[in-house]
Amino acid sequence: MTSYRIALNFEDGVTRFIECGADEKVLDSAFRNRINLPMDCSDGVCGTCKCRAESGSYDMGDEYIDEALTQDEANEGLVLTCQMVPSSDCVISVPVPSTACKTGTAQFSATLAEVSSLGDAAYELVLDTPSDAPDFLPGQYVNIGVPGSAQHRSYSFSSAPGSARMTFLVKQVPGGLMSGWLNRAQSGETLDIKGPMGSFYLRTPTRPLLFLAGGTGLAPFLSMLEVLEKQAHALPIHLIYGVTRDQDLVMVDRLVNFAERLSNFTFTTCVADPQTRHDKQGFVTQYMSPDVLHDGDVDVYLCGPPPMVDAVQKHFKDIALNPVSFHYEKFTPNAITPISE
């Protein structure tokens, strides 16, 4: 029996996946999976179940009334889940918290496969994907509990959804709780994980893409590039990867490999340190040439520390550029603050 994977991304950043039959309405599938999406009538009359379809194809039928969903709203991607019958995998933004729908963040455990030290800049954390691990959207993150403590740290996936192993790029923080544990961690140890979460994820590409990564903010773009490679998109993709020190440039070999395999992918690296030996000194905003901005006909994705996000927003304002979409995620060494516009 044909079914489609539906990602429900809630207002609080929690994402839950459900399987929806080929002739099944999304609302019915959600209830079958014990997720109580907002509804009052289930007949296309009240509009209470209105959500936004971020991607995918579907049929809305013609049994709902204009007061519940106008044609202008439908043209903008708004849907009534009580009428929506998917014909492909879809991502749906639900404008209420997950708790209001009597669901919440998935919790699972994963086994440590290996930890690789990337100089003094970062670690690559590799976990075996357990059978009960939930799906995620490329760009999302999880909260990983630090063994031996009651605390957790937030990290974006650098691996693609469905991979046999989950990978994460972790900044080395001197004296940091997770850094200290990774320095002594042994294969086979168990980590407690909550997620996936976050509204920062790859939407279906319909125009050129500009990726802006700061430091370990490279991680979600590695996941996105894996997915884009599988989808064989021909749209231009350019990534600008900026760091503070020369030694903070990690996993550049992965970017080189992507560029060799994807003819539509290019990237630039730059280092902020005035004493750098890198050929491009400065910040990411200095390397946004007109050919990667496409006069604003571009989807921009940014993952980096708050000052980088602020600088890019100011740069766009200064050059009077309004990208068609601008999705960004701010992070600090201990937390991620996902924000998407």
In angstroms, the CA 305 to CA 315 distance is 16
Which sign does the torsion angle of CA 63, 67, 72, 74 carry? Answer: negative
pLDDT at 257: 97
Q: Which residues contact 318 (CB under 8 A, 6 or more apart)?
A: none
Distances (CA, A) of 246 to 63, 249, 280: 60, 6, 11
CA–CA distance, 214 with 243 (Å, rounded to integer): 6
Taking the alpha carbons of 147, 151, 157, 163 in that order, is the dihedral positive or negative? positive
Cross-strand pairs, 338? 329
Domain spans, the chain: 3-101, 107-197, 209-340
Q: What's the pLDDT score for residue 2?
A: 87
Among the listed residues 140, 149, 129, 81, the one whose alpha carbon sits nearest the alpha carbon of residue 105? 140
Q: What is the mean pLDDT of the chain?
A: 93
pTM of the model: 0.87
| H/E run at residue 309 | helix 306-318
Average pLDDT over residues 154-165: 96
Count Cβ atoms below 10 Å from residue 76 Cβ, excluding itself: 10
- Give the mean model confidence (pLDDT) for residues 70-93: 95
**CATH code at 107-197:** 2.40.30.10
3-state secondary structure of 44: coil
For the residues 116-139, what does the mean pLDDT come to?
Answer: 95
Query: 3-101 belongs to which CATH class?
Result: alpha beta
Q: E strand or H helix at 272, and its extent?
A: none
The model's confidence at residue 233, banded by pLDDT at 50, 70 and 90, is confident
pLDDT at 333: 59
Is it the case that residue 337 has pLDDT exceeding 80? no
pLDDT at 237: 98
Helical segments of 6-96, H only: 26-32, 71-75
Residue 117 has what pLDDT? 95
Q: 209-340 has which CATH code?
A: 3.40.50.80
Evaluate if residue 232 carries a pLDDT over 50: yes
Residue-level pLDDT at 1:
72
Instruction: Give the span between the Cα atoms of 36 and 78, in whole angstroms.
Output: 19
CA dihedral 276, 277, 283, 289 (to 10 degrees): 160
Give the C-alpha separation, 184 to 158, whole Å.
Answer: 22
What average pLDDT does this structure show over 297-304?
A: 97
Q: In what order do the strands lie in the sheet with 237-243?
A: 265-271, 237-243, 209-214, 299-304, 325-332, 335-340
| Mean pLDDT along residues 225-235 | 92
Task: Write the pLDDT tens digit of every residue in 7-42.
Answer: 999 998 899 999 999 899 999 999 999 999 999 888
Q: How many Å is the Cα radius of gyration of the chain?
A: 21
pLDDT for the residue numbered 262 = 95
Chain segment 46-55, per-residue pLDDT in tens: 999 999 999 9
Using a pLDDT cut of 70, give the percent of the chain over it.
Answer: 97
* 272 has a pLDDT exceeding 60: yes
Average pLDDT over residues 261-284: 96
Query: For residue 339, what pLDDT is reported?
Result: 46
pLDDT given for residue 335 in this prediction: 56
